[in-house]
Amino acid sequence: MEQNRNQKQPRKRALGIIVALVLLLCVSVGGSLAYLVATDGPITNIFSPATTAIRVDETCADNVESSIVVTNTGNTAVYIRVALVSGTENAEGNLVVDFYENLNNLTLSSGWVQHTDGYYYYTSPVAAYGSTNSLLGSSVTLAEGQTITVLAQCIQSEPSNAAVEAWGVDPAGLKGGN
């Protein structure tokens, strides 16, 4: 009888191990399912594209143009270029472009370079919400009836070849700024 009892012990032990493994498997599967059901739905990633925008701030009083500053109002660094168009207004209020000697030899502020294409380039990227130095290193006295129209453009400074592809000029590579 004792031998019969010893034979039942290993069977009980094996049965106990099997029951424990089945319970462990059930708990694991149940826990995994509970986790998967309880987690939130898909996560939405919001991507905000970079925006480029600029504003020109001029100071002109008594026919003296003393400051032209361009402010980056976008959320990414940009290169800036400016064209100055000089002329007078006709009777209908339209601009008649004229050549004025006072724009021929401007003194430029630090960071600005005049290129052969007629544009003035700011040679450093302007950070988001930052501003350039004034384009003018000294004031310009306007002739009677003369107006100056400031045409400013910007382009993202990254990728590094963006300005070259769009403008054909690398502002960072221009030399001769004051």
| Per-residue pLDDT tens digits for 41-66 | 677 888 888 899 999 999 888 878 88
User: Who has greater pLDDT, 70 or 139?
Assistant: 70
**Looking at residue 176, what is its pLDDT?**
62
**Looking at residue 23, what is its pLDDT?**
84
Contacts 24+ apart (CB under 8 A), 112-115: 112/177, 112/178, 113/171, 113/174, 113/175, 113/176, 113/177, 115/169, 115/174
Res 30 pLDDT > 90: no
Q: pLDDT grade, residue 5 (50/70/90)?
A: low
Average pLDDT for residues 119-148, to the nearest whole number?
91
With a threshold of 0.85, does the pTM exceed it?
A: no
3-state class (DSSP) for residue 20 = helix
Average pLDDT for residues 114-129, to the nearest whole number?
94
Q: Whole-angstrom Cα distance, residue 68 to residue 82?
A: 10
| Closest listed residue to residue 112, CA positions, set 71, 75, 69, 142 | 69
Q: φ, ψ for residue 13 (rounded to 5)?
A: -65, -45
Q: φ, ψ for residue 157 (rounded to 5)?
A: -80, -15
Res 70 pLDDT > 90: yes
> How much of the chain exceeds pLDDT 90, in percent?
41
pLDDT tens per residue, range 153-165: 999 999 989 999 9
Those residues with Cβ within 8 angstroms of residue 37's Cβ, 6 or more apart along the chain or in another chain: none
**Looking at residue 114, what is its pLDDT?**
92
3-state class (DSSP) for residue 73 = coil
**Looking at residue 2, what is its pLDDT?**
56
